Amino acid sequence: MVHPLIPHVIDLAQPLTETLGLQLVGAVFYTHQQPPVLRVDICHPDRDISLEDCEQMSRALESALDAIDIFPDAYVLEVSSPGISRSLTTDREFISFKGFPVIVSAAEPYGGKQEWTGKLIRRDDSSIQINQKGRTISIPRALVTKVQLEDQQ
């Protein structure tokens, strides 16, 4: 369940990321920690996120949040890269993770299945293609709800 303040944080953070040439990936408010942690994930469209990117975004967002004072109590602001254990969304990510094991989820069954595991071949305008034990599986992109790197632990 999304914390009720997250939409406000996203509305505030979105223009800041654009100004810095970054993209907002998401935000989560961990209220079970003491003090609570507001984590904001950012990415860069053309390169890996640097510590300087995180610092710039942190300073800009901290000032903006302090100005509107939406958090009544103390909290920790954490700005970082989402890492690789997440859903693939951008063209760059699909290119970068070609050949990696992924899990593809669909909104409704297709070919008798709603989830597939295999090595990512590509994403094009019409489908997501994976290699499953030497066979190419093509899932219509319109049905795909999520493509996530498979955890390799």
pLDDT tens-digit readout, 114-130? 999 999 999 999 999 99
What is the DSSP secondary structure assignment for residue 49, as one 8-state letter?
P
Beta carbons of 147 and 103 less than 8 angstroms apart: yes
Domain C-terminal end among 52, 80, 108: 80
Which helix (H) or strand (E) covers residue 74, if one does? Answer: none
> What's the structural domain count of the chain?
2
CA-closest candidate to residue 7, choices 30, 20, 33, 26: 26
Flag whether the pTM goes above 0.75.
Answer: no
pLDDT in tens, 18-39: 999 999 988 889 888 889 999 9
What is the DSSP secondary structure assignment for residue 141, as one 8-state letter?
G
Verify cis geometry, omega within 30 degrees of 0, for the bond prior to 82: no
What is the DSSP secondary structure assignment for residue 131, as one 8-state letter?
E
Domain C-terminal end among 24, 55, 80: 80
Q: Report residue 122 as tokens.
A: 């590509």
Domain C-terminal end among 60, 80, 100: 80
Residues 59 and 30 in one domain: yes
